[in-house]
Amino acid sequence: MPRGQKSKLRAREKRRQARTETQGLEVAKASGAAAAGKSPSSVFGDRPENLPAAGTPSTPEAPEGATGATAASSGTNSAENINSPKAESTSFPKGAESSLSEILNKKVVLLVQFLLQKYQKKEPIRKAEMMKFVIKQYKSHYNEILKRASDHMELAFGVDLKEVDPTRHCYTLVNKLDLSYDSALNEYEHMPKTGILMIVLGVIFMRGNCAPEEAIWEVLNMMGVYAERKHFIYGDPKKVLTEDLVQLKYLEYRQVANSEPPRYEFLWGPRAHAETSKMKVLEFLAKVHDTVPTAFPSWYQEALRDEEERARARAAARARTAALASARSRARASTSSQAK
């Protein structure tokens, strides 16, 4: 490979690594903000619901001075990069002023960063590596750190941490959508959009399956996501919602009929209907508000009806497939007997 091309590839890898590091250090703020500010009923619609007030989960702050560029300069190996002397010294100041709570918060941030890198590189996630490179001497707090990091990954990025090998304690990150992106699209590049998509799908569902654009931005503004500002995770949020996710058919974005001046609204796109469900979205939003789906009674009932309709549709599809297979089998048998 020509030297110039190698240099470009290395530079591209460093830029991607830097982006991953920055997201890992700041993601916790966004995931916590998702549940802050107003009660769910004041945001998602006017129907009376027996809802708790939205709380603000504990979120770790990004360590000062730990920037994406600094982290990227230490190399591209995820485990080494997480464990670099500069990252450790910056993230964990020595001295009595560092309380256990602050240290655990920073451990959560580092673990989110570690998980993002593993997801990007499609590497297996092993407990042994998390203990060695992130948890270290805080082994007794492993379960707490892992749970909080997993929650941040789910709320900010829309991915679940699943244990795939209980014997060897191996994990994988699974997108909350049954993703089937076109081959030209890289799943990692779209991973940050899943979190914002799940929030938007939830607002649409809770606003009667069609949400005015201003209602969408009211919720996203609570998370620190604004149409006119570039976001450190989502990039250009306006473009993501009105172009990217529309082109991918996860959202529909249309002008409200007879509106002057023009107003716009969002609906679920065909791929959202195919790759997720109202129940999955409701479960996601319930977790954002630190509650359970049944705390949203009318929406929970609607999600149950949707699940039943989907089950009937799957059963009907299986019946049609079986009938076609049976008809083909009979046709082949008839042809064979006639040939004899």
Counting as low any pLDDT under 50, the low residues of the chain are: 18, 20-93, 95-97, 181-186, 188
> Which pLDDT belongs to residue 293?
93
296 neighbors 49 (Cβ within 8 angstroms): yes
Residue 137 in tokens: 């001497």
> Which pLDDT belongs to residue 224?
83
Residue 177 in tokens: 């959508």
DSSP 293: G
> Which pLDDT belongs to residue 330?
80
> Which pLDDT belongs to residue 7?
65
Q: What is the CATH number of domain 102-173?
A: 1.10.10.1200
* SS3 of residue 268 by DSSP: strand
> Which pLDDT belongs to residue 143?
94
127-176 pLDDT per residue, tens? 999 999 999 999 999 999 999 999 888 888 888 899 999 999 999 988 87
> What is the DSSP pairing of strand 211-212 with strand 264-268?
antiparallel
Which one, of 63, 115, 33, 49, lies nearest residue 292 by Cα? Answer: 49
Alpha-carbon distances, residue 68 vs 19, 32, 51, 243 (angstroms): 6, 21, 39, 28
Query: Which residues are registered as beta bridge partners of 174?
Result: 160
162-218 pLDDT per residue, tens? 999 999 999 998 887 765 543 334 454 556 678 889 999 999 999 999 999 999 999
Cα separation, 300 vs 40, in Å, equals 14
Alpha-carbon distances, residue 159 vs 95, 179, 293, 312 (angstroms): 36, 11, 19, 28
193 neighbors 234 (Cβ within 8 angstroms): yes
> Which pLDDT belongs to residue 339?
66
> Which pLDDT belongs to residue 152?
86
* SS3 of residue 212 by DSSP: strand
> Which pLDDT belongs to residue 5?
63
**Which sign, positive or negative, has the C-alpha torsion 329, 334, 336, 337?**
positive
Alpha-carbon distances, residue 296 vs 32, 43, 50, 238, 335 (angstroms): 20, 13, 7, 29, 58
Cα separation, 242 vs 246, in Å, equals 6
> Which pLDDT belongs to residue 86?
43
> Which pLDDT belongs to residue 15?
56
> Which pLDDT belongs to residue 119?
83
The percent helix, strand, coil of the chain (3-state, each to 5) is 60, 10, 30
Q: What is the CATH number of domain 191-275?
A: 1.10.10.1210
* Domain boundary assignment for the chain: 102-173, 191-275
Q: Do domains 102-173 and 191-275 have the same CATH topology?
A: yes
Cα separation, 86 vs 15, in Å, equals 19
Chain centroid to CA 136: 27
> Which pLDDT belongs to residue 76?
35
> Which pLDDT belongs to residue 16?
53
